[in-house]
Structure 1
Amino acid sequence: MKNTLLVLASALLLGACATGPQGLHIDTSHTSQNQDSRALFLVLHYTVLDYEKSLRVLTTGGQVSSHYLVRDEPPTIYRLVDENRRAWHAGPSFWAGHSNLNSSSIGIEIVNPGYKDTPEGRVYAPFSQPQIDAVIKLSQDIVARHGIKPERVIGHADIAPGRKQDPGPMFPWKQLHQAGLIAWPDAAQVAAKISGYAALLPDTAWAQDKLARIGYNVPRHGELDELTKQTLVTFQMKYRPALYDGVLDAETAALLDTATTPGGMRMATTPLEGPTKPYTSRW
């Protein structure tokens, strides 16, 4: 019996050690509580290409990649890069104090042609509902496994406004809210603030401050330059896709105010339906 216990103890001791390069022994019996996932962000894109071209660009020598590709027809999810490795999908990027998000994010590319510029203006292509359903299910799985916060589920345009537009105004961010993935400005608070801003609009410096508090990399000089305008466009594409002209009107001001007011952002308590609960950003 004594010999048996010694054998078991030796086995447990050896099990706590990992053999590294050149016979290096590493004890793995202790684990720190002070850690989290390397994946802090989930970034959503569209490909601007059909499926075959998207797959070729993302898997060959095009210097661009993503962890996942979601096909349109039939809606199929492909894993192209292991989540433990860095994919090249974000490029020059910034969100709420974090830059170069390739190193700290998981990227999902969604097959979609993007937009066409026509004589009537820019026209964005829609997404099919089955494809969006697949994106939502994949996002829910990634967010749950990595503990990604709602304010860190973002689009490529959010982290590179003006330079990028994807996933564009046709992407149904509201459905991601209903699925419990992101917070959304409380409609009652937005409606209550519109009349006040219709009577007196805030200035550009106010808008820049609000956009920066949300996470955007926006100038703070108080002038409506092109980057500030494109950042407003990006914000409107997400929260008011019916009109994204980059103009600071009363509704946009009400949305910005609500999005940066404690208790203004809400999480769905029941996915796809039901009441909402206040959400405070936990940067």
Structure 2
Amino acid sequence: MSSSFRVKRSLGKLALLTIAAVAGTLTLAGCAGNGSKSARGDYKVEWVESQNASERVRFLVMHFTTINFDESLRALTLPSSAPVSSHYLVPENNDPSYPHPDLRVYQLVDESRRAWHAGPARWEDRDQINDQSIGIEIVNSAHCHPPVETSTEEIGEEICFFPEFDPEQMELVIALSQDILARYPDISPTRVVGHGDVVPERKIDPGPRFPWQQLAKAGISAWYEEEAVKRHMEYLKGNSSSDRDSIRRRFAQWLADYGYGIDPENASEEDITLYTRAFQYHFRPWKVDGEVDNHSRAILLALLEKYFPDKLSGYPDLQSTLLAELENPG
């Protein structure tokens, strides 16, 4: 492999660099506490730490590459007419283009710098995701074929293929993600998202095979409680008087409350379908159809209950008895 593809640091070095970063932080904190001065050029700087600041990094975005390791590395590191990059690239086993006998995490962009991986995207109240995130590209050969035009005006659906992710590869992704989260406390479970979550009109990665539940069990991403889904399903079955448009519009509001960048009031029918599909790719991958059914609604309510319980009281269609049960489960 040419020197231009030299790995900046592997996963084995991440722990060492983390220790060094923590030590540096402690040193600075000590300086701040003592109000000490340092010389910088021809002037002195006195360090007084402000409490009015936050981490730059707020999100962790997962991607799949759709191409093999060698092509992925070239696409993410070499100049092109449409340049892209990510902070990390994680290879997979049984890839003839991968040059090592063991899997290694490749760092392509320093975490302090902006990688070009999310493009125009939105999550929560932020729309400059590249500026506020770390991106992980995961080698996986998932791919889609464009819709086939028929003799009528109708256009068929695209055909997609989603291979399973390599288990050893996912162990690396989990270890890397845990290391990143330890350095950036602002990345909460609901802020670990897929590319398709933040730009559903253009992307679907990391796709329906990505093991989000496994990441949640490792303390990385969000997932729902099954008992909560069952409880919300029972409630929704007994409250089916709303018309389809009202249900879909209300679901769009719930999506926005969770973090999705949809505008509930002005979203078109197509917008609601796209964002519903993105949600289903992430949280109900065995059935992705864009339909706002009771199961999708119950999963989203269970997620809101777990991560944003204060927002449930703002839904007038939820019975007061149900809200009382959520507030006092005993």
TM-score of the alignment, normalized to the shorter chain, above 0.5: yes
Distance 1:92 1:159 in 2: 9
Are the aligned partners of 2:212 and 2:223 in contact in 1 as well (CA < 8 Å)? Answer: no
Q: Shift of the alpha carbon at 1:198?
A: 3.8
Which residue number in structure 1 is paired with residue 135 of structure 2? 107
Question: Which sections of structure 2, spanning at least 5 residues, go unmatched?
Answer: 1-33, 94-101, 149-157, 310-330
Following superposition of structure 1 onto structure 2, how do residues 114-263 of structure 1 map, counting pairs within 5 Å? 114-117=142-145, 121-147=159-185, 148-198=187-237, 200=240, 203-221=247-265, 225-261=269-305
Distance 1:238 1:18 in 2: 51
Q: Shift of the alpha carbon at 1:233?
A: 0.8
Q: What is the one-letter code of the residue matched to 1:25?
A: K
CA RMSD of aligned residues (A): 2.4
Following superposition of structure 1 onto structure 2, how do residues 87-102 of structure 1 map, counting pairs within 5 Å? 87-102=115-130
| Residue 26 (structure 1) aligned with residue 26 (structure 2) | no
- Greater alpha carbon shift after TM alignment, 109-118 vs 84-93: 109-118
Q: Secondary structure at the match of 1:260?
A: helix
Which residue number in structure 1 is paired with residue 152 of structure 2? none
Q: What is the one-letter code of the residue matched to 1:43?
A: V
TM-score by length of 2: 0.70
Which residue number in structure 1 is paired with residue 55 of structure 2? 37
| Residue 78 (structure 1) aligned with residue 100 (structure 2) | no
Distance 2:225 2:241 in 1: 20
Q: What is the one-letter code of the residue matched to 2:46?
A: D
Q: Shift of the alpha carbon at 1:263?
A: 6.4
Q: Shift of the alpha carbon at 1:223?
A: 6.8
Are the aligned partners of 1:236 and 1:243 in contact in 2 as well (CA < 8 Å)? Answer: yes
Which residue number in structure 2 is paired with residue 277 of structure 1? none
CA offsets 1:137-177 (integer angstroms, 9 cap, x no match): 00000011111211111111111112110111110000111
Following superposition of structure 1 onto structure 2, how do residues 259-274 of structure 1 map, counting pairs within 5 Å? 259-261=303-305
Which residue number in structure 1 is paired with residue 328 of structure 2? none
Following superposition of structure 1 onto structure 2, how do residues 55-70 of structure 1 map, counting pairs within 5 Å? 55-62=73-80, 63-70=83-90
Which residue number in structure 1 is paired with residue 71 of structure 2? 53
- How many residue pairs align between the two structures? 250
Q: What is the one-letter code of the residue matched to 1:210?
A: W
CA offsets 1:172-215 (integer angstroms, 9 cap, x no match): 00011100112322110101222443452751111111111011
Are the aligned partners of 2:122 and 2:129 in contact in 1 as well (CA < 8 Å)? Answer: yes
Distance 1:25 1:194 in 2: 64
Q: Shift of the alpha carbon at 1:255?
A: 0.9
Q: Shift of the alpha carbon at 1:240?
A: 1.1
Whose strand fraction is larger, Structure 1's or Structure 2's? 1
TM-score by length of 1: 0.81
Distance 2:57 2:138 in 1: 19
Q: Secondary structure at the match of 2:305?
A: coil
CA offsets 1:48-99 (integer angstroms, 9 cap, x no match): 1110010001111131111111111253201111111111111001001001
Q: Secondary structure at the match of 1:135?
A: helix
Q: What is the one-letter code of the residue matched to 1:133?
A: E
